[in-house]
Every structure is written in C-alpha cells, then in structure tokens.
C-alpha cells in the first residue's frame, strides 16, 4: 500500500524519524510515530487501530492481550479499538460495528484542521464504506482519523465523520474509543471524575443507577456506561504511582469495563489472568446517538496523558462538558 507521509520504511534506522511506515504482526501495515524525547505510538491500518503508546522511558501504556488475533475478521484485543457506527449491540450490526475490522487508507490530502497542529508525529487515515458495508449499513460516509503524538508524549485521536449520502438522508450512529489502559494491578486502581453521575449497568440489563462512591474501584466484573460525563477523567494506578488523564470532546458518555476472571476465561483472545493488568475507560457517544444530515460533519476528540501521581492534584476540572461538534455543510471548507 502506498503511503505518502513524512518518511518510508527505510527511515526506521533513523530513530528521529517522526513517521515511519512498516509491517507489523502477520505482515499487516502499520505506522509508527515517534517524538524526539522518546515517546512513541503505533497505528495499524487494520481497524485504524492504535496498538501501542509508550512514554519517553519506553514503558508501554496501553494493554494488548498476548492472545490478540491480528487477523480479519477478528478485531485486535486491546489498544484503542474504534467502535463505529455502533457501540456494543446498540443496533442491528455486529458487536461494536465494522470500523475496527476494516482496512483503512492513508489520507494523503485531508481537509485542514480547525486548529492547525505543530506536531510532526501524526498520521491521517480515512475509511469509506465498501460495498459489503453499504449492504449492512446503507449510508455513505467519510471517516477521517488523525492520530498524533505531542512533544510531551500525549496521545491525541481526532475523528471527523461526515455524511456523504447523495440521497438526502440523515444517519445516526453510536461511537466509542474503546481504550485499554495497562495497569499494574486492577485492585489498586481508582477512576475519578464520574462520582455522583448516572450510569447504565450492562450487567443488569442496562438498568439506570447513580454512582454512590467517591471513586470507582474494582472488586469484581464491572461494565457501566456513565452519562453526561465531564471532559476530564482520571485513572489512578496506586502501585505504579501513575495517573492517566483522559480528556475528551464531543463524547458525553464514558464506559468503564473490566471483565474479571470468569469472563476473561470465556474470551478466546484474552488470557485468563490478564484482567488484572488492564482497565477500559472509553470516551463515547451512546445514550444519545449522533445524527448527521447530508454534508454535516461530527468531531470526536480524545487526548491521553500519563503523569506521575505526585504531579496529579486530584482536582478535576469543573463540569465542563465539550458539546458534540456538528458542523453544517456550508461551513466545511
């Protein structure tokens, strides 16, 4: 597959090359992003799937199962799967939709971003529906994804989804960045920023409850969709003394998931004890599907940071929710 970005596979020997195209597991195409201080990220064209995010010390921050299957039609277990145009079984499509098991293309000429980036370590991907997709979800769209690594090592994903239907029909979708964070011990993890919020409990037929704790802790299987969440959520790994900060825009919901032991053993692409070393905290738009008229474009942003817990004050931003960004056709250049 041709790819015109900052460099080619031959540049791999030059560690400073910010963007490298090479082959990954099972000879699948991937793009490696590097920042000068040593942080890196890897993105597979299969699924538009981020599978690695390392800090400047080379420590891996995302969880990918040792049993992950890098082969169609199975989605890669771990990293950041993209759930589109359907989250879970909120619709008639396959679980989590089809974007995560399609081959994306390098977007060689993406439209300008509203806020230009000064980063050099980024890649633009694009997904358009194939004939097989139109048969199961009869809507024409352009899904542009930018994956960027900041000089400080933050990982940023920006999704821009546009309705290109020629028949004048609107479409609706649900969405999630299904991020798997790597943790040292799930029993030592706290998620902060979701206290007092309502959530749908997927283990109880999506019954609605209100979070009573001052933080989310893990003592058994947990699978919840938190609603109307703030733009900033913290995942505190006490044993590692590290805090992940999730910042998001256009994504009002947040899914928190750990399969625990029984469900872990039931998954063929997941190790029996791997649940101890991961937690999913997913920026999402689920309760209220996003609806786009022809020509309209939606933007969903995710920014991930990893900082020593001593630097993290525990003070989250006030309830500042970034609203869904839907841009009408006539304002898209």
Q: What pLDDT digit, counting tens, does each position of 80-113 carry?
A: 999 999 999 987 888 899 999 999 999 988 888 7
For residue 320, list its beta bridge partners.
Answer: none
List, in order, residues 6 or more apart from 25 with CB less than 8 Å away: 70
pLDDT of the residue at 116 = 60
Cα dihedral sign, 62-67-71-72: negative
Contact yes or no for 228/198 (Cβ under 8 A): yes
Annotated binding-site residue? 100: yes
In a domain, 330, yes or no: no
In a domain, 326, yes or no: no
Contact yes or no for 246/283 (Cβ under 8 A): yes
Domain that holds residue 304: 19-312
pTM: 0.90
The angle formed by the CA atoms of residues 53, 174 and 50, to the nearest 5 degrees, is 15
Active-site choice (35, 192, 274, 282): 282
Q: What pLDDT digit, counting tens, does each position of 244-299 carry?
A: 999 999 999 999 999 999 999 999 999 999 999 999 999 999 999 999 999 999 99
In a domain, 263, yes or no: yes
Count: domains in the chain: 1
pLDDT of the residue at 311 = 65
In a domain, 142, yes or no: yes
In a domain, 331, yes or no: no
In a domain, 130, yes or no: yes
CATH value at residue 228 = 2.70.98.10
Catalytic residue flag (residue 12): no
Kindly state the percentage of the chain with pLDDT values over 90.
81
Phi/psi at 33 (5° precision): -105, 135
Active-site choice (178, 192, 274, 303): 178
In a domain, 10, yes or no: no
Confidence of residue 16 (pLDDT cuts 50, 70, 90): low
The mean predicted confidence, pLDDT, of the chain is 89
Contact yes or no for 40/117 (Cβ under 8 A): no
Contact yes or no for 196/177 (Cβ under 8 A): no
In a domain, 62, yes or no: yes
Confidence of residue 20 (pLDDT cuts 50, 70, 90): very high
Catalytic residue flag (residue 178): yes
Interatomic CA distance for residues 64 and 266, integer angstroms: 17
């Amino acid at each position: 597959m041709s790819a015109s970005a900052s460099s080619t596979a031959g540049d791999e020997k030059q560690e400073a090359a910010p963007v490298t195209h090479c082959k990954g597991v099972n000879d699948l195409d991937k793009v490696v992003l590097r920042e000068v201080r040593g942080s890196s990220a890897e993105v597979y064209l299969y699924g538009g799937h981020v599978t690695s995010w390392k800090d400047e010390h080379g420590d891996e921050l995302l969880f990918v199962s040792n049993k992950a299957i890098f082969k169609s039609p199975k989605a890669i277990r771990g990293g950041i799967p993209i759930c589109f145009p359907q989250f879970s079984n909120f619709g008639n499509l396959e679980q989590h939709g089809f974007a995560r098991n399609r081959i994306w293309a390098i977007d060689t000429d993406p439209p300008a971003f509203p806020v230009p980036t000064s980063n050099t370590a980024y890649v633009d991907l694009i997904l358009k529906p194939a004939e097989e997709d139109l048969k199961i979800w009869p809507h024409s769209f352009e899904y542009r994804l930018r994956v960027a690594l900041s000089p400080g090592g933050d990982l940023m994903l920006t999704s821009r989804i546009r309705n290109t239907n020629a028949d004048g029909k609107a479409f609706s979708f649900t969405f999630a960045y299904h991020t798997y964070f790597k943790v040292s011990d799930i029993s030592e993890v706290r998620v902060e920023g979701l206290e007092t919020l309502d959530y749908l409990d997927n283990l109880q037929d999506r019954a609605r409850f209100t979070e009573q704790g001052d933080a989310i802790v893990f003592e058994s299987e947990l699978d919840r969709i938190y609603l109307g969440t703030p733009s900033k959520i913290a995942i505190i790994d006490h044993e590692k003394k590290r805090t992940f900060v999730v910042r998001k825009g256009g994504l009002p919901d947040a899914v928190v998931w750990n399969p625990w032991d029984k469900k872990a053993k039931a998954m063929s692409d997941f190790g029996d004890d791997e649940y101890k070393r991961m937690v999913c905290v997913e920026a999402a738009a689920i309760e209220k599907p996003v609806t786009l008229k022809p020509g309209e474009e939606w933007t969903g942003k995710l920014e991930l940071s990893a900082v020593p817990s001593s630097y993290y004050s525990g003070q989250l931003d006030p309830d500042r929710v970034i609203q869904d960004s839907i841009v009408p056709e006539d304002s898209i250049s």
